[in-house]
Amino acid sequence: MASRITPQSPVLILMEKSPDCLCAMFGAAYAGCFYTPLDSSMPENRMRLIADTLRPAAVLYEEKFAETAKRIAGDAALLCDAEIPDEVNGALLSERRKGHIDNDLLYVLFTSGSTGNPKGVSITHRSVIDFAEWACGALRLPEGLRFGSQAPFYFDNSVLDIYCAMRMRGSLYLIPKGDFMFPKRLLARLQDAHIDTVFWVPSALTALAKADVLSEGCLPELKRVFFCGEVMPCATVNRWKKALPDADYVNMYGPTEITDVCAWYRVDRDFLDTDSLPIGFPCENTRIHLIDGEICVGGTCLSPGYYNAPEKTAAAFVQNPRRPQIPEIIYKTGDLGAYNERGELMFLGCRDSQIKRSGYRIELGEIECALQNAAGIELACCYYDADKEKIIAAYTGNPDEKALKAALKAALPKYMLPDVLLRRDALPRTGSGKIDRLALRREAEREHLIP
């Protein structure tokens, strides 16, 4: 690859999550380029938008994606498992490494934005090295650990799994995506693979906790349970702690733009099921500012910006208004936060999820928390239909509807009560495992479920 492609060129990777995909990612980095894994299940039109943004020098693909790769990349498409006729040019690779600096890009991951062109978040070697060094120390990761990997490689949660496993000479066990649909199979997989560390989205941990497969001592080798990407219900943490009381539980927070995680909280005390879990304190070498209630982040973790999108970069990556004397860029997350009486940072939701109705400001996350804590509920989420001025709540599980309404009335003021309750067999998920609220809204509209 290095003989054909100039340094710091983009390399798209169209492969399933696999060891071969990891090899392709590392191969791109070794050649002095940066990589972008694609979600093989995404619409081809979205792949084209990503390719148009990156203008990749190569697209590495596996055989079953050959036609798609050729349509989006033409002659730049390279079959990854084919024999490469060229000899490895060791001298050229050595020269590449001499010219490599830590500010070069390692990867660009594209956000799962629902409208417009997807944004490519650029991350440097320096940021990943800094992050991995912090994570391995702060999270007390031992040499030879065994990660049970849930996150797809195109999702930034995978960065901790991959690079901490490498740094600690550990193993990265790629759990098949289908296992997360079958809790008993998933539990058996964790047992058989001797997994001692997981870093999953809360939805995955909640689904397993509510499937009644966890019991005291069921996973004796699992010592570290980390989570990030969504709000973690305290009820879920409590179910896991009951089954694994000696495990280390850590809540983490951070958008893709800050190299996965910028705040963390080790669960060091008991919480009621109805409490909110702190996101805690800044990671080392990271500074968090609350500016008009918005969480803003600075430090080595910061992305240099969105690839080939200077206007979007300028809107989100701004000069720190508290240090106008020198150039200092911070990232505006769009999330709201506040400090509790212990000085711990609390996540209060996204600006986009805060609505105003009948003169009241309403945080949809608070409604979701009340739903999630109701008896019989497995998973829940809600959104606001602004046109009809209605709060829509969707859930899975089999609660008694009368009892559910009573529980919500006991937990929420009248103006926050959902106008519509939708029971679903399953909630749609994004490729990273989060609940897909946009898809849920579209389903409800398509099926005329909203009066």
Of 101, 97, 11, nearest in space to 61 by CA:
11
- pLDDT one-digit tens code per residue, 263-320: 999 999 999 988 999 999 999 999 999 999 999 999 999 999 999 999 999 999 999 9
* 451: confidence class by pLDDT, cuts 50, 70, 90: low
Strands 34-37 and 10-14: parallel
Distances (CA, A) of 13 to 69, 117, 149, 224: 9, 19, 19, 31
Q: What pLDDT is attached to residue 349?
A: 80
What average pLDDT does range 131-149 have in this prediction? Answer: 98
CB of 213 closer than 8 Å to CB of 183: yes
Lowest mean pLDDT: which of 247-251, 342-346, 430-434? Answer: 430-434
Q: Is 115's pLDDT higher than 60?
A: no
Lowest mean pLDDT: which of 191-195, 236-240, 270-274? Answer: 270-274
Q: What pLDDT is attached to residue 363?
A: 76
Q: How far apart are CA 273 and CA 86, in angstroms?
A: 60
* 450: confidence class by pLDDT, cuts 50, 70, 90: low
Q: What pLDDT is attached to residue 358?
A: 63
Task: Give the three-state DSSP class for 368.
Answer: helix
Q: How far apart are CA 56 and CA 73, in angstroms?
A: 8
**Maximum distance among all Cα pairs of the chain, rounded to whole angstroms:** 73
* 431: confidence class by pLDDT, cuts 50, 70, 90: confident
Structural element, H or E, at residue 10: strand 10-14
Q: Is 84's pLDDT higher than 60?
A: no
Distances (CA, A) of 337 to 123, 278, 296, 356: 25, 10, 10, 18
What average pLDDT does range 37-57 have in this prediction? Answer: 91
CB of 295 closer than 8 Å to CB of 282: no
Structural element, H or E, at residue 392: strand 390-397
CB of 61 closer than 8 Å to CB of 78: yes
What average pLDDT does range 155-166 have in this prediction? Answer: 96
DSSP secondary structure letter of residue 280: B
Q: What is the DSSP string of 41-67?
A: TS-HHHHHHHHHHH--SEEEE-GGGHH
Q: What pLDDT is attached to residue 116?
A: 52
* 3: confidence class by pLDDT, cuts 50, 70, 90: low
* 85: confidence class by pLDDT, cuts 50, 70, 90: low
Domains contained in the chain, CATH given? 10-100 (3.40.50.980), 127-349 (3.40.50.12780), 358-446 (3.30.300.30)
What average pLDDT does range 372-387 have in this prediction? Answer: 86
Lowest mean pLDDT: which of 27-36, 136-145, 268-277, 352-361? Answer: 352-361
Of 140, 189, 153, 149, nearest in space to 60 by CA:
153
Query: With pLDDT > 70 as the criterion, what percentage of the chain qualifies?
Result: 94
Strands 329-339 and 345-350: antiparallel
Q: What does the chain come to in residues?
A: 451
Q: What pLDDT is attached to residue 104?
A: 97
Of 257, 254, 258, 191, nearest in space to 226 by CA:
254
Tracing tokens 């960065």 back to the chain, one arrives at 159
Q: How far apart are CA 284 and CA 391, in angstroms?
A: 39
Q: Which of the given ranges, 128-137, 198-207, 437-446, has the highest pLDDT on average?
A: 128-137
Q: Is 83's pLDDT higher than 60?
A: no
If you average pLDDT over every residue of the chain, what do you get?
90
Higher pLDDT among residues 221 and 210, named by residue: 221
Q: What pLDDT is attached to residue 113?
A: 46
Q: What pLDDT is attached to residue 1?
A: 52
Lowest mean pLDDT: which of 89-98, 129-138, 231-240, 337-346? Answer: 89-98
Q: What pLDDT is attached to residue 151?
A: 93
**405 contact partners, CB below 8 Å, separation of at least 6:** 421
Q: Is 201's pLDDT higher than 50?
A: yes
Q: What pLDDT is attached to residue 191?
A: 97
Q: Is 406's pLDDT higher than 80?
A: yes
Q: What pLDDT is attached to residue 114?
A: 38
